[in-house]
């Protein structure tokens, strides 16, 4: 599997157009490679990884649709494609959309509109740092705190229910440091006491039966970077003592060793436990609690931030697609409503598992409710969900249907109105009410 990339592949034979696009991409901060022929682009796409392809349909050696179909035939995992087309080639562009291309733009086009489309498409592909944490007020506050903490070495404790994305937040903090340093994670609750000690501090050759060589622990592996200790609340009491000493002295001793080894780490811990209660009950050391809890970040469960659920679902689908040969699918209107209505007791972990299964079962471009949940829709509704939900659901269905009709009619308003059995004025009113316009909605189909 090719490693993920943030680069854009530009395929354009016209020198003036290519220079214009290349210059603008550079000004917008998009790293890119520019290919003048389909053959050059084919060779690059077979060996390199790109976040997005912007391609003219008319090329000097082969057409853009032939290039796209060739890659499909070879079973290549394709990045999203935006095609540049003339008015006489719209049919080809629409056919490419049906085959999996993401979008097209018609000459002459507004460069700003193209840049906006590119940003909408590659934002989940370029998932690094804080872009995948969410946009709810609670998560925006978390992001603000992460920016403040990026220049500090203070220990951070991340709390929240299982599956809320505590490691995602820890990685976001690590990425904000801007350093090419290691991020090492270990789950303290998944190992026995002896295994955890060896995992944390390493061991010398011959320290115990089976220790055939010297091994560095995660403290040493993370030196200069971030050490993430997940489920710190499950650490055995004896290990809490050794952990506290290592944090106080900023040095460790390997199992079976005697030499103090200095370590320089940023410590981030996480737990689903309420550590204050474990301190009161004597299960967790109070001095260790204050050592790891200089700053606490509580990650709310998905049911407390429903506005984050659908964007997270799209981000997770992009991550899942990056490990397979499929382009990320979308959702039917019913699936969108169900995703937002369901409380997700397992939080992001449950959401990701459901999406992985749905991606495997989905044969088309859209994931349906039945594929996603494998159970009848009524269980997704509570009494508080029912107020106004039918109107909202029908509105989403109507909007999706109108957009698809507009694309099928190549955005010819009168033709589309006739096919829908409504007047041109009525269609314009619905487009205005639903916020439908050609530049911003065609990629949603």
Domains of the chain, by residue range, sit at: 8-125, 137-299, 304-444
Q: What is the pLDDT of residue 376?
A: 47
Q: What is the pLDDT of residue 3?
A: 36
At the topology level, CATH places domain 137-299 in Rossmann fold (3.40.50)
* Alpha helices (H) along 362-434: 369-373, 383-386, 389-408, 413-420, 424-434
| CA dihedral sign, ordered 63, 65, 71, 77 | positive
CATH fold match for the domains 8-125 and 304-444: no
Q: Which residue has the tokens 């369901």?
A: 342
CATH of domain 8-125: 3.40.50.2300
Question: Exposure pattern of 196-219 as b/e (b: 16+ CB <10 Å)?
Answer: bbbbbbbbbeebeeeeeeebebbb
Q: What is the pLDDT of residue 216?
A: 92
The C-alpha atoms of residue 324 and residue 320 are separated, in whole angstroms, by: 7
What is the CATH architecture of 304-444?
Orthogonal Bundle (1.10)
Q: How many CA atoms lie within 13 A of 16 on its CB side?
A: 0
Which tokens hold the place of 290? 């204050």
What is the DSSP secondary-structure string of 287-354? Answer: HHHHHH-SEEEE---GGG-GGGHHHHHHHHHHHHHTTSSSPPPEE-HHHHHHHHHS--TTHHHHHHHH
pLDDT in tens, the chain (445 residues): 333 456 899 999 999 899 989 988 887 778 899 999 999 999 999 888 788 999 999 999 999 989 998 888 876 667 889 999 886 678 888 888 877 788 888 888 888 888 878 877 775 544 444 556 877 889 989 988 998 898 888 999 999 999 999 999 999 999 887 666 889 999 998 888 889 999 999 999 988 888 889 999 999 999 989 999 999 999 999 999 999 999 999 999 999 998 999 999 999 999 999 999 999 999 999 999 999 999 999 999 999 998 888 888 888 887 888 777 667 788 887 888 888 888 899 999 999 999 999 988 888 778 888 888 875 444 444 444 444 566 776 777 788 788 877 877 777 888 888 778 888 888 888 888 888 876 555 444 4
Bond from prior residue into 434 cis (ω within 30 degrees of 0): no
């Amino acid at each position: 599997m090719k490693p993920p990339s943030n680069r854009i592949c530009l395929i354009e034979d016209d020198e003036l157009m290519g220079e214009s696009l290349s210059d603008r991409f550079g000004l917008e901060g998009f790293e890119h490679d520019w290919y003048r022929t389909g053959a050059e682009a084919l060779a690059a796409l077979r060996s390199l990884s790109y976040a997005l392809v912007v391609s003219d349909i008319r090329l000097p050696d082969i057409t853009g649709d032939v290039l796209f179909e060739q890659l499909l035939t070879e079973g290549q995992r394709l990045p999203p494609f935006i095609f540049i087309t003339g008015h006489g080639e719209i049919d080809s562009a629409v056919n490419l959309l049906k085959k999996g291309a993401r979008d097209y733009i018609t000459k002459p086009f507004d460069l700003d509109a193209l840049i906006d489309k590119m940003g909408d498409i590659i934002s989940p592909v370029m998932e690094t740092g804080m872009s995948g944490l969410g946009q709810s007020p609670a998560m925006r506050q978390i992001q603000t705190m992460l920016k403040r903490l990026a220049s500090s070495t203070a220990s951070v404790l991340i709390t929240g229910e299982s599956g809320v994305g505590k490691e995602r937040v820890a990685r976001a903090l690590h990425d904000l440091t801007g350093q090419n340093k290691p991020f090492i994670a270990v789950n303290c609750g998944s190992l026995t006491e002896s295994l955890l000690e060896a995992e944390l501090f390493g061991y010398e050759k011959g320290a115990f039966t089976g220790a055939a060589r010297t091994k560095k622990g995660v403290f040493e592996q993370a030196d200069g970077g971030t050490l993430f200790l997940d489920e710190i609340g499950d650490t055995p009491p004896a290990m809490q003592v050794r952990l506290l000493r290592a944090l106080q002295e900023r040095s460790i001793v390997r199992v079976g060793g005697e030499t103090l080894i200095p370590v320089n780490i940023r410590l981030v811990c996480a737990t689903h436990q309420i550590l204050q209660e474990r301190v009161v009950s004597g299960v967790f050391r109070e001095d260790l609690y204050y050592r790891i809890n200089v700053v606490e970040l509580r990650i709310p469960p998905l049911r407390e931030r429903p506005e984050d659920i659908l964007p997270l679902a799209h981000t997770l689908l992009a991550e899942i697609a990056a490990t397979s040969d499929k382009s990320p699918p979308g959702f039917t209107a019913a699936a969108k409503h169900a995703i937002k209505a369901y409380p997700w007791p397992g939080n992001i972990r449950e959401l990701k598992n459901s999406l992985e299964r749905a991606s495997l079962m989905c044969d088309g471009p859209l994931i349906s409710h039945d594929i996603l949940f494998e159970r009848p829709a009524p269980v997704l509704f509570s009494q508080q969900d029912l107020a106004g939900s039918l109107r909202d659901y029908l509105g989403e269905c109507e909007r999706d249907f109108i957009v698809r009709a507009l694309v099928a009619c190549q955005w010819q308003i009168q033709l589309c109105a006739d096919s829908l059995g409504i007047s041109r004025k009525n269609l314009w009113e619905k487009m205005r009410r639903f916020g439908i316009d050609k530049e911003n909605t065609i990629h949603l189909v």
